[in-house]
Structure 1
Amino acid sequence: MQELWLLFCGWDDPVPEPIKSRWEIYHQELVKTSEHHVNRCAFLPSSVIQLHTFADASQAAYGACTYARCEDDQGKVRIQLLASTSRVAPLKRITIARLELCAAVLVSHLHARIKKTIDVNVSAPYFWSDSAVTLQWLRSPPNVWPTFVANRVSEIQQYTNGCQWKHVPGAENPADLVSRGMSVDEFLQSDLWSCAPGWLSLSPQDWPIFIPPGVPAEELELKTTVALTQAVPTVHPWFLRWSSYSRLLHVIGYCMRFVTNTRSKARTQPSPSPIPVDQ
């Protein structure tokens, strides 16, 4: 749809052949989705429930997906996909970092809707992103960022107040499959999509700790502070005494000539004769 919009195609115009063939392949693959089955029982009885929501973005789209992690008193763990959502990236190109931030907004909204709908006690919500820039933005107050970032950071912090945001590599982020898309065959065979990363079924203390890479200062888009200063010029009293610049030049010229003539006269006059002293 993005490509057709950029081509300015009319409603009755035939679509270009490359797009047509891609659509036909997709249409034929849709039949295979009947092979996909979802476990209707999402939660284990008498279990501790955690919600894990992942975010990701690309130049094509950004999305989010939420998994329920249930662990009963016997140590049995079940990971179940609860919901996912996506948005097509805007036609006006923005940076990947900002798209990742939009995905984080989508994550916060999705989590709020799920928590309101399922009406069960959630022990701990976790939020995951593979964007080091987004995580850095969320660790600071909104007022230090430019308007676009500040508005979204404020909204995310409002919805996820007190929750943990963690880093996850892109290869282990199931939301990456939402933002980049996948074929029906990949959808049916993907363990990452159906069960989330394998380590999520382990005990929380055994989860790997992913340290996000360092973020260059220019990528953080720190708000630029502009300070206006006014220099007050020092005015010589002579300029206040004479309103005309040419008149001031004449006065200074007369003064300089007077000083020059006085010095010349002092050099040309003979020295006075000494006064005799009576014996």
Structure 2
Amino acid sequence: MWSTIKESFEKFQQLLEEDAENNEEEELGIPSLELCSALLLSQLVNSVASALRIKPKNIFLWSDSMIKLTWISASQISGSSVANRVREIQRLTYTARWNHIKFEDNSVELISRGVQPSKLKEATLWWSGSTWLRFSSENWPLTTRVVLEIIPEERTMKTKSFVASNIQFQNYSLWYRFTGTTAYIFRFSYNIKTRSKGKEKRSGNLTTEEIQQATIYWYQEGVLRIGGRLRHSSRSYDKKHPILFPKQHHITKLIAKYLHISNLHIDPQALLTITRQRYWPLSGKNLCKKIVHSCIVCFKAKPNFQSPLMSQLSSARITPSRSFNNTGIDFCGPVYIRQSTNKRTCKVKTYIVVFVCMAVKAVHLNLVSDLSTNAFTAALKRFIARRGHQKQGEPWSNVSTRSYQVTFHPSKCPSYRWLLGGMCEIVFKEP
């Protein structure tokens, strides 16, 4: 081990200790013996650095063994003896820099290969080291470090390829959970493959690319698509040729349910339109109806109110009698008519009086000029002249007059609905 001291703009280099390779230990291979010498060097550097009062600025460690340098810089090494030594070297020399040195510049080779004491006394390489060590690190000779393709004792990561299609998709009720599980499996596989390569692993929330990759995985190969005549259209390939899905498959239901929820619970027709932009499920209309009808949110948002019970029919409607013996009266209009056949004649606003028989539902219409009492009295006289006088009962009406005794029932009151039951409204549509 050499120490370089800079004093008065001059560098002095002297031998502190020399660690020669000892091959008389346990029977190991040459690379393992080289690693043992590196461990001894690391322990020596650590002990000398802790004993010095002056803290070294930089520590450079040299070796002429490519395998040893590759082991020290590796992250995964198999074998208990090699892995333990490499781990200890990395712990002791985490602040030092390991470099490769040429064979002729390595002073340890004098001892390991044997040298006479008389020649060792005169060996400048042993006592002073290489001449280029006196210069700054920028002027040191560059040595090309060969990257070994096959590293001895390297731990190979044996990973079994997974099959995402083995996921029990029947256990998922939502499409985004199903694709999220697939995306996390892909992420786990990516992190396992890239851990030995030193790449940054993926973490945190799923990205859009990961979810899209997981979605495409389930129908990337071997799927049927709709043909059609949109080959020259500017639309995307998925829109020109939607993917054909079976109607009873669970994934088809998951996709339809996902599109229904993501589009704010649309109705079945809109859901079918959006689904067919990329997918084409068989019996898609029935599928969309089933998805919407089974949605709890849609059920709560559109409750079916209970209809009130229908009242009993009045006796006038269920008792046999002569036509118009019990009559319901109402107005409809206005209608515009011409007073002559001349086209230039102005149109006049008129109304129609509707007489409905409550027993047989016969209808009698009479035209009046306005909604006055005189106009209604004239229409009633014409009705009686045409249909005859009533023998029993009384006319049921939702209009009133002073000349005749009638029963007035407003159109919105329950009694009117009970007596007439909308018999006049079915003849005409109220404006």
TM range (shorter): 0.5 to 0.7
Of 6, 14, 17, the residue aligned with 1:83 is 17
Query: Which position in structure 1 is the counterpart of 2:61?
Result: 127
The answer on whether the counterparts of 2:21 and 2:108 sit within 8 Å (CA) in structure 1 is no
Residue 131 (structure 2) pairs with residue 192 (structure 1): no
Q: Indicate the residue corresponding to 1:69 in structure 2.
A: 4
| Equivalent in 142, 147, 156 of residue 80 of structure 2 | 147
Q: Residues of 2 paired with 1:209 and 1:227: CA distance?
A: 39
Residues 1:88 and 1:144: Cα distance change in structure 2 (over 3 Å): closer
Shift of 1:107: 0.4
The structure 2 residue matched to 1:103, chosen from 29, 33, 37, is: 37
Cα deviation, residue 177, structure 1: 2.0
Residue 138 of structure 1 pairs with residue 72 of structure 2? yes
1-side partners of 2:94 and 2:73: how far apart? 11
In the other structure, the counterpart of 2:153 is: 221
Within the alignment, does 1:117 sit opposite 2:64 as a pair? no
Distance 1:158 1:90, change over 3 A: same
| 3-state SS, counterpart of residue 154 of structure 1 | helix
1:250-275 CA distance string (max 9 Å, x none): xxxxxxxxxxxxxxxxxxxxxxxxxx
Indicate the RMSD between aligned Cα atoms, in angstroms. Answer: 2.2
Aligned partner of residue 162 in structure 1, secondary structure: coil
Extract structure 1 runs of 4+ deviating beyond 4 A. 224-229
**TM-fit CA distance, 1:93:** 3.6
1:111-134, CA deviations, whole angstroms, 9 ceiling, x for partnerless residues?
112112222221111100001111
Q: How far apart, CA to CA, are the structure 1 residues paired with 2:32 and 2:157?
A: 21
Deviations 1:82-128 (A, max 9, x none): 01234632465422111111110010011112112222221111100
CA contact (8 A) 2:32 2:82 kept: yes
Whole-angstrom distance in 2 between the partners of 1:198 and 1:87: 23
Q: Which amino acid aligns with 1:118?
A: L
2:155 match: secondary structure: coil
CA, structure 1 residues 89+211, in 2 after alignment: closer, same or farther (shift >3 Å)? same
Number of residues paired by the alignment?
Answer: 161
The alignment partner of 1:149 has SS state of: helix
Amino acid at match of 2:35: L
Q: In the TM superposition, what whole-angstrom CA distance separates every residue of 1:216-260 from its partner, at most 9, and x where no partner exists?
A: 40x52222556799xxxxxxxxxxxxxxxxxxxxxxxxxxxxxxx
- The aligned runs of 1:150-189 (5 Å cut-off) are 150-189=83-122
Q: Distance in 2 between matches of 1:81 and 1:167?
A: 20
Q: Aligned partner of 1:139: which letter? A: S
Q: Using a 3 Å threshold, how does the CA distance of structure 1 residues 227 and 197 change in structure 2: closer, same or farther?
A: same
Higher CA-based Rg = 2
* Stretches of structure 2 lacking an aligned partner (at least 5 in a row): 162-431
- Output the amino acid matched with 1:111: V
Contact 2:59–2:95 (CA<8 Å) still a contact in 1?
A: no
Shift of 1:149: 1.4
- Aligned-pair distance for 1:175? 1.7
SS at match of 2:17: strand
Q: Deviations over 1:167-216 (max 9, x none)?
A: 00111011222322311022111110011111001122101111133424
The code of the aligned residue for 2:14 comes to: Q
Letter in 1 for 2:114: G
Of structures 1 and 2, the one scoring higher in RCO (CA 8 A, sep 6+) is 1
Q: Give the SS at the match of 1:165.
A: strand
